[in-house]
Amino acid sequence: MNCKKCHTKAVIGLPRHNAAFCKVCFNEFVHDQVARAIKAERMFGPQDRILVAVSGGKDSLALWDVLLKLGYKADALYVDLGISGYSATSREKAVRFADTVGAAHKATLLTHTVQEAEGAGIRELADLIHRPTCSACGTIKRYQFNRAAVEHHYDVMATGHNLDDEAARLLGNVLHWQEEYLDKQSPSLPASVEGFAKKVKPLYRLSEREIAAYAVLNRIDYIVEECPMAKGSKMLLYKEVLNRLETESPGAKQSFYWGFLDKQAKAQPASASMTEKDQASLHPCSTCGQPTTAEICSYCKMMARASAAKSS
């Protein structure tokens, strides 16, 4: 198997593209896919300050690596959830990457420790408020990533969601016809109101396998294990279903998700209509000031419940 571009020996085959690449050409392919995503969705420009949400996993660290190599000003934020064993390892991976690749590009790693700021690890918080751990985790991460982006004056927040993630999320939303979520399932969500950072997903054109290959070929040291809290997640089930379909029909995930994006773009001028809807429904949380549809945002409600449970 030879590289499609330079015809030397290939190191990876990409069935959905009917192509194979050597290491150099594969890196160029990955960088090009991210650059095309940024341009197509008007995610950010050369002068924008970007905050990458990193977890210590392959996707977020690969994203940070690619953005830095493309010449963008990209810092990162790691949220330490206080999961015994797992968080210490994932934090170590994020810090090590920041100390090597990040430092070479004068990039900074910010950290937020849930145990210190919220008063307990994510598992303990979830138990206190009687909510699934993944639900509590999502609330904290969304809140803290947005808070950091706004307070530190970043122009945009980038996450490492890849093609597999977005196709699985789309499958779940379609199965349950969650139209509100479908309306907002875009690789780029504008900063619709003051207090909300723009959010983008520059890896949406790349599969999980491709990103894993990029991380291995570029010696990015990442945590391989899945978060122990994700066991039994419906997202993992949807990914498994889509992986089986992809094996039988290469390109199925791409066709499913990209087809949705094409129809979404034709159906509405997304940023204008979504901005108007958000501006009409969002207002500052009476406790913290971040935008919310209710009087008190979900994060502040959660922390109030946790505080009450501790006192009782």
Q: Is pLDDT at 250 greater than 50 in this prediction?
A: yes
CB-based burial of residue 106 (10 Å sphere; 0-12 exposed, 13-18 middle, 19+ buried)? exposed
pLDDT the model gives residue 283:
82
- Residue 242: closest CA among 260, 254, 259: 254
Strand 73-80 vs strand 109-113: parallel, antiparallel, or unpaired?
Answer: parallel
Task: Give the CA angle between residues 167, 169, 170 to the nearest 5°.
Answer: 65
Alpha helical stretches, state H, the chain? 23-40, 58-69, 86-97, 103-104, 114-117, 122-129, 133-151, 163-175, 179-183, 208-217, 234-248, 252-267, 270-281, 298-311
Q: Is pLDDT at 193 greater than 80 in this prediction?
A: no
Instruction: Reduce the DSSP state of residue 157 to 3 states and report it.
Output: strand
pLDDT the model gives residue 267:
77
Q: Is pLDDT at 132 greater than 70 in this prediction?
A: yes
Rounded Cα gap, residues 307 and 128, in angstroms: 9
pLDDT the model gives residue 159:
97
pLDDT the model gives residue 279:
56
pLDDT the model gives residue 306:
92
- Among 67-76, 105-114, 259-268, where is mean pLDDT lowest? 259-268
pLDDT the model gives residue 310:
86
Mean pLDDT value across the chain: 92
Residue 2 — very low, low, confident or very high, per pLDDT cuts 50/70/90? Answer: very high
Q: Is pLDDT at 90 greater than 50 in this prediction?
A: yes
- Residue 50: closest CA among 96, 114, 108, 92: 108
Rounded Cα gap, residues 87 and 106, in angstroms: 25
> Pick the residue with more confidence: 267 or 178?
178
Whether 87 contacts 245, CB under 8 Å: no
Rounded Cα gap, residues 25 and 221, in angstroms: 21
Tell me: the pLDDT tens digits for 276-301? 555 557 888 999 988 888 899 999 99
pLDDT the model gives residue 181:
82
Q: Is pLDDT at 268 greater than 80 in this prediction?
A: no
Q: Is pLDDT at 274 greater than 70 in this prediction?
A: no
Q: Would you say the C-alpha torsion 120, 122, 125, 127 has a positive or negative sign?
A: negative
Whether 129 contacts 90, CB under 8 Å: no
> What count of other Cβ atoms lies within 10 Å of the Cβ of residue 150?
19
Rounded Cα gap, residues 167 and 171, in angstroms: 6
Q: Which residue has the tokens 């946790």?
A: 306
Rounded Cα gap, residues 294 and 300, in angstroms: 11
Q: Does domain 23-268 have CATH number 3.40.50.620?
A: yes
Whether 203 contacts 59, CB under 8 Å: yes
pLDDT the model gives residue 271:
47
Whether 208 contacts 163, CB under 8 Å: yes
Average pLDDT over residues 213-229: 94
Whether 29 contacts 263, CB under 8 Å: no
Residue 99 — very low, low, confident or very high, per pLDDT cuts 50/70/90? Answer: very high
- Among 28-37, 72-81, 246-255, 302-311, where is mean pLDDT lowest? 302-311
Rounded Cα gap, residues 255 and 246, in angstroms: 10
Q: Where are the domains of the chain?
A: 23-268
Rounded Cα gap, residues 296 and 137, in angstroms: 18
What pTM was estimated for this model as a whole? 0.92
- Residue 75: closest CA among 111, 48, 102: 102
pLDDT the model gives residue 269:
58
Q: Is pLDDT at 178 greater than 70 in this prediction?
A: yes
- Residue 208: closest CA among 247, 253, 163, 172: 163
- Tell me the CB-side half-sphere exposure of residue 9, using CA atoms within 13 A: 1
Tell me: the pLDDT tens digits for 31-53? 999 999 999 999 999 999 999 99
Which tokens sit at 280? 């009409």
Adjacent-strand bridge partners of 80: 113
> Pick the residue with more confidence: 17 or 275?
17
